[in-house]
Amino acid sequence: MSYQGKTVLITGGASGMGLLCGQCYAREGAKVALVDINGEELSRRVEEIRAYPAECVGICIDIRDYPSVEKARDEVVERFGSIDLLINCAGGAECRILNVHGEFHELPIDVFDFGIDLNLKGAVYFDHAVLAQMAKQNSGVIIHLGSITGYEGSANNVAYAASKSALMTGVTKSIAQAGAKYNVRCVCIAPGPVLTRPGMANMKTMMGRAAEPQEIVDLIMYAASDKAAFMTGNYILIDGGRHLFQM
C-alpha cells in the first residue's frame, strides 16, 4: 500500500482520527494537507508532521462554508499539484460539541441545523469540490467516515445519526456513481466505539472492547489503496460486532 508522493487531504485533521490518518500517511511518504477549524492546534500538528520529516500543510477553514472549501482545494492543488485521496473525518455529535442537552423536540432547531451542516453538508461540499479536481486527473479516492450511530440511530443526536446514515449509503453510492467514469472510487468506513474519547470505552460490543484508533486507520488506508481497487460505493462496519445487538 504505497503512498509515496501521493497527496492526501484530510478534514478534521488537527485531532482524533483525522490527525492519526495524517500522521500515518505522512510516514508512508504522502504529502498531507490537514483541514481544521482550530487554527492553533492545526499549526502545532502540522509542525509535528513536518518534523518526521514530511511535506504537510494546514488550512484553517469552516467546512460549512463552500467558498472556503473551494479555496482549500485550490491551495492544496497549487502546493502539491494534485489531490489523490480525500478523507472526510470532520464531524461529531451536535449536542456534545455544542454542550446542549435535552429531548430532541425540546432543543432549538439551530442545534439540528448545525449537526446537518457539519456532518453531512461539510462532507458533501468537499466531495463536490475535490471530485472536480479528481475528474481532471482521471483518478482519486474519496473516503467517508461513517459511524455505527448511522446504523443504530440516536434519540440524543438526531442530526449526527441522520448525517452518518446518509453518508454510509446514499452519498457514498452516489459519489461512487458520479466518479466511476473518472476512475474515482468512494468508500465509507463506519466505526463503532473508538478510544478517541474515554466515554467510548463503556459502549457495548460483542468483542467486549472499543477499537484502538489505529485499527480504524489501518482499514481506511487499505480501502484507499490499490489493493482495494475493485471496491467502491459501499460502507464497511468496523464495530466489534456492536451491530449484532440490533438483530
- Radius of gyration of the chain from Cα atoms? 17
Q: Tell me which residues are annotated as active site.
A: 160
Handedness of CA 206, 211, 217, 218 (dihedral sign): negative
Q: How far apart are CA 84 and CA 7, in angstroms?
A: 5
Burial string for 55-86 (b: 16+ CB within 10 Å, else e) reads bbbbbbbebbeeebbbebbebbbeebebbbbb
Count of residues in the chain = 247
Q: Which residue's C-alpha cell is 497549487?
A: 78
